[in-house]
Amino acid sequence: MRYGSFNNCNLPPWVIASRHFNDNPHPLEIQGVKESNRFLFEKLAGIPDQCERALFFNDFMSVKFHLHHWQEQSTDRARNSIRNNYLHFLKCWMIDSNSLSGAVLKRWVESRMGITPTFHKQPIRDANGEAYFNYSVDVMNGSACTSAIQSQLDLLFEYGQFELPRTYPGLKAIPLFRGTHDAEEYEIIEDLGNREQIVRMNNLVSFTCEEERAWEFGRTVWATSVPLSKIFFYSGLLPGSILRGESEYMIIGGEYRVRRLR
């Protein structure tokens, strides 16, 4: 099980997940998101300062999804469904990518990009298998404690795609690093020699822009080139981000050409 049969993006799943896409990146868009939120992106385009744009984005999200009204709700469940917003899910990913929130984020990639997860608490190899069923239960339980989270993640991705060309002008891809303790458990699609391999990554996976930081997360460190269009979220996107200290980049997965360091 690798890719779904459909997605909600401008390119098909097998293209987005391929090594060839990484070699020749193209823009990715979630269908209808920018069109239905035209006011947001027109306003952002007129704000020259990145921090001001981020504040405006946060304010827009708060108003659109009523995130500032959580205290007015009459029950704990209703209050938590609003408090458990996109920032909450990012924070939970940083703590444990195999949490309920991690499952919801992986499902977002699966539904929007059409790339199925390869791991959630255990390897996932079959849509009819127990591992995929358990992952789906986590998705259901994680989604039940929040409101409109998939729509919030749609806007977060599109906002990141708006900012990335401004953060990295003239670039289509950037070098990133991943540290892991279980490199032998990844699916190696092709061994290219000279420490280079084609590796299948999970559908959502964390990287860092700092090689030294990557060594803190595993005895194996891979270096790779990641298209800007496959960056779901990065630590500098929002002011005071909960991921800032990690220099973390949350990457849409698939096939990656990696070089094993040392």
Q: H/E/C letters for each residue in 168-199?
A: CCCCCEEEEEEEECCHHHCEEEEEEECCEEEE
230-233-239-240 Cα dihedral, nearest 10 degrees? -150
Torsion sign across C-alpha atoms 44, 49, 51, 55: negative
Q: What is the pLDDT along the chain (262 residues), one digit of tens a residue?
A: 567 667 999 999 999 999 999 999 999 999 999 999 999 999 999 999 999 999 999 999 988 987 764 444 445 444 444 567 999 899 999 999 999 999 999 999 999 999 999 999 999 999 899 999 999 999 999 988 787 899 999 999 999 999 999 999 999 999 999 999 989 889 999 999 999 999 999 999 999 999 999 999 999 999 999 999 999 999 899 976 555 556 899 999 999 999 999 7
pTM for the structure as a whole:
0.92
Helix or strand (DSSP H, E) at 126? none
Give DSSP secondary structure letters for 68-87: GGGGG-SSHHHHHHHHS-HH
Q: Where are the domains of the chain?
A: 13-167, 173-260
